[in-house]
Amino acid sequence: MATSARPVRKRPLRIRRVLGEAAQYAALTIAAAIILTPIYITVVYSLQPVEEIFSYPPNLLVTDPQWDTYKRAFETGSLGRYLINSFIVATAITIGQVITSVLAAYAFAFLRFPFRNLLFVVFLASLMVPWEVTIIPNYQTISTFGWLDSYQGLIVPFLATAFGTFLLRQAFLTVPRDLRDAAAMDGYGHIGFMLQVVVPLSRAAVGALAVFSFLLAWNQYLWPLLITNDDDYRTVQIGLKALVSSNIDEFNLVMAGTVIAAAPILALLILFQKQLIRGLTSGAIKG
């Protein structure tokens, strides 16, 4: 690509380039504005008094922000409790998936045992069973365990991930063979080698898996809807639905609740964009 440091051959070419860039910026900005519009309107409504939301023609500016609505959303919608629940559930699932995936991926990458390839295929086969297909028997299982309305019910079914195992195995396979020999010479057992060499060397993949797992766990909808009725265990996604159904006309309250439910994960995206993109592009299977 030509940069301004390069000698300019012809003036018209340069003008054309500047115009081209301006057009690109214009297109980018218009696209960004369209994508952000729903988010912008949500924030505006959350800060307007209800009468203003109903005004016609619509007013899309905030003149007098009603921060109080956010306080009310926390109180009437018990959003604080739901956020804590979501945080507990998503964190536990993330930690669990990282642990089970590291263990299984290590076995597939470094150990020799009978039926290894067959077992790997079995792992991959679990990806072919969509959660939506098995909700009825899974509901029955969780019910038999007495885990309806419990953290266990929300967490345990999701503690293993074939996608994560696959992702980490690929990363583990790139660990140089010399290192394995050297570690063995130094008297490292499998556990020492796994924790002190393999995992640190694969931290990019582990990070990608962790961010990806957290995102999927935080955003889960169908399963928490099925197995939680009790406010004590509802996640924020289901809490948001409850807030909508019981306050359908209080759009400012509902929109404040939406912002509260969305904010933590948007912050996560901005902080860990690189990891998330890696997780998404290295297979991108929704679990």
Partner 1 sequence: MDDMSATEVTIALPKPAGRWRARPRLKEAAFALVLLGPSMALFSTFAFYPLVKTFYLGFFRSDPFGLSSNYVGFDQYLDVLQSNEFHRSLITTGLFALFTVPTGLVLGLGLALLAHQKLRGMVVYRTIFSSTVATSVAVASVMWLTLLNPSLGVINYGLEESGFEAVNWLGDPDWALPAVSLTTIWLNLGFTFIVILAGLQTIPEELHESAKIDGAGAVSRLFNVTLPMLSPTLLFAVVVLTINAFQSFGQIDILTQGGPLDRTNVLVYSIYTEGFRNFNEGVAAAQGVALFLIVLVLTLIQFRFLERRVFYGN
User: Among residue numbers 9 through 48, which ones bind partner 1 (CB under 8 A)?
Assistant: 21, 24-25, 27-28, 31-32, 35-36, 38-39, 41-42, 45
Q: For residues 129 and 218, give the distance between their C-alpha atoms in angstroms, rounded to a whole number.
A: 21
Closest distance of CB 160 from partner 1, Å: 4
Among 202, 210, 261, 275, binds partner 1 (CB under 8 A): 261
SS (H, E, C) 174-189: CCCHHHHHHHHHCCCC
Smallest separation, CB 218 to partner 1 (Å): 7
Q: Which stretch binds partner 1 (CB under 8 A): 5-13, 71-79, 98-106, 147-155?
A: 98-106
Q: Within 105-144, which residues bind partner 1 (CB under 8 A)? A: 106-124, 126-141
> Considering the rule CB under 8 A, would residue 82 count as an interface residue with partner 1?
no
> Which of these, 49, 36, 39, lies nearest to 252 by C-alpha position?
49
Of 7-15, 71-79, 195-203, 222-230, the segment contacting partner 1 by CB under 8 A is: 222-230
Quote helix, strand, coil % in the chain, to nearest 5.
Answer: 75, 0, 25
Q: Are 264 and 272 in contact (CB under 8 A)?
A: no
Instruction: Answer yes or no whether residue 219 interacts with partner 1 by CB under 8 A.
Output: yes
Residue 282 as a binder of partner 1 (CB under 8 A): the answer is yes
Distances (CA, A) of 254 to 35, 171, 239, 244, 248: 21, 43, 11, 6, 8
Residues contacting partner 1: total by CB under 8 A? 109
